[in-house]
Every structure is written in C-alpha cells, then in structure tokens.
C-alpha cells in the first residue's frame, strides 16, 4: 500500500483544475472521499502504475484520500486455503474502506492483464454479509504499447458491472505509453494527460454525489423478499441497506 504525495507537475495547468468540487455541488468536503487504486503490471517501469500514480496526485490535490494497492506477492485466488493471505486481507480491507476505485490495466493480447484480474478476483461479491465493492464508484483506465485501443477499459467496465459498482462515463486510454513519460516517470503534457485529469475530476464528482445514497440505490426488492424485510414506511429504506451502511463504517 502506498500514498502518493502531490508534487507539482509541468503537465498540469492548476488554474483550470476544479479543486472546489464539493462546494460547487453544495456538499460537504469532509470527510475526504476515499479512493482505492489498482494497477496491472509488476514491471519496474510499469506504465499502468505510472498513470495510476499520476492520477493519485490529482486526486490528492482535489482533496481525496488515496490508497494504491501493491499487487506484488498477491497469490492466485485458488492458491491458498484457510485464513486469507495477508495481501488478500489488505486488498479486501482497502476495498471496504473505500468509496470509489480506479482500475488501470495494460492491454495484453487484446485484453486486461492477469495482474489486474487477479486483484479483482480476490474481491468477493459478498463477504460475511458485507459487499466490498457494491455501490462504490469506479473509474477505468488503460495503457497500450501501440495505437490507442479500448479493449481493456471495456472489459474493466464489464467487471465493474458484475461487481455492482457505479462506473463513471468517462475513461482514459493512453496509447504508446512509453512515449508519454519522462525519465522521472512523470507524465508529459498531452491530450492523454488532460483526459486523466478529466476522469479524476469526474470520479470525485460522482463519488460525492453518491456517497450518502449508495446503500439506498443498491437496495433490492428481491433481497428484501428473501430476508423478509418489508419497506420501512418512515424512511423508505430497508434494514438491509441500513445495516450495510453501519457495518461498512
């Protein structure tokens, strides 16, 4: 797990960055939105990690609290038995902590990498009655070694739907990623960088808008029937949604 500080970057034009999103939405900025970030490569100069770190700096500057999960040492889903592996527990705890996710994968053979899929596969739909991804926002990004493609972001969107997440409309796809970073691993000024800024601004907006309503938005008729929990005539919320909200705190 790493926290990326927000040093200045020559790619960002700060006078154009929206750093007052909560105020403009008429919502409180505290507590800060909590974002978990996953990337999909273990290489020393991993471009999916570099894009993720660039996005983390932007989120931090906009007031978000950010955690980047380090996938090194994470076992395969069926590799261990018994108590969860420490890395698996760390990942799941971070998802429970989060209000939103960012997933960034390289495109390999026209699809997402095994590294990013392994992380997502360790996040169950339900865990002891608590759902570690349901109702959270999701932003998807990808990097490519060649021309621009959208295969990975499309597949990440599909996974987000299966994980019952609210995937934001915008997305980022960085083509020929090896050309987009300087020797220090910072992203150069470009339309690709500007799109990353767009996506992170949008993620903060949607996370703020949904944060107090997500439990209600994912409260399901079928689950109320199964649990024998009728609608509360006072609040119009079932105890399922209220219980999930309390357990997640």
In angstroms, the CA 112 to CA 67 distance is: 21
Lookup: tokens for 26? 């008429």
For the chain, 249 residues long, give each residue's pLDDT as a single digit of tens: 555 655 656 799 999 999 999 999 999 999 999 999 999 999 999 999 999 999 999 999 999 999 999 999 999 988 877 788 999 999 999 999 999 999 999 999 999 999 999 999 999 887 776 788 888 999 999 998 877 878 899 999 999 999 999 999 999 999 999 998 999 889 999 999 999 999 999 999 999 999 988 888 888 898 889 888 888 776 655 444 444 444 444
Q: Is 222 helix (H, G, I), strand (E, B) or coil?
A: helix
Return contacts of 7-10, CB within 8 angstroms, 24+ apart. Answer: 7/57, 9/54, 9/57, 9/186, 9/187, 10/186, 10/189
For 14-245, which CATH class?
alpha beta
In angstroms, the CA 168 to CA 153 distance is: 12
């Amino acid at each position: 797990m790493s926290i990326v500080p927000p040093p200045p970057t020559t790619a960002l034009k700060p006078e154009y960055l929206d750093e007052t999103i909560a105020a403009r939405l008429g919502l409180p900025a505290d507590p800060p939105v909590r974002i978990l970030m996953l990337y999909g490569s273990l290489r020393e100069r991993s471009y999916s990690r570099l894009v993720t770190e660039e996005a983390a700096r932007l989120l931090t500057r906009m007031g978000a609290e950010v955690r980047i999960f380090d996938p090194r040492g994470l076992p395969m889903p069926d590799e261990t038995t018994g108590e969860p592996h420490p890395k698996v527990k760390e990942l799941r705890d971070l998802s429970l902590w989060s209000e939103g996710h960012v997933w960034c994968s390289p495109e390999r053979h026209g699809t997402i990498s095994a590294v990013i899929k392994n992380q997502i596969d360790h996040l169950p739909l339900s865990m002891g009655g608590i759902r570690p991804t349901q109702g959270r926002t999701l932003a998807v990004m990808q990097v490519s070694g060649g021309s621009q493609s959208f295969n990975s972001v499309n597949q990440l969107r599909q996974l987000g739907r299966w994980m019952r997440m609210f995937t934001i409309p915008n997305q980022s796809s960085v083509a020929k990623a090896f050309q987009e970073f300087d020797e220090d691993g910072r992203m150069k000024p470009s339309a690709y960088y500007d799109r990353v800024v767009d996506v992170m601004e949008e993620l903060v907006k949607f996370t703020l808008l949904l944060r107090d309503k997500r439990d209600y938005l994912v409260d399901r008729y079928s689950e109320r029937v199964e649990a024998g929990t009728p609608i509360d005539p006072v609040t119009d919320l079932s105890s399922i949604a209220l219980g999930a909200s309390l357990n997640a705190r």
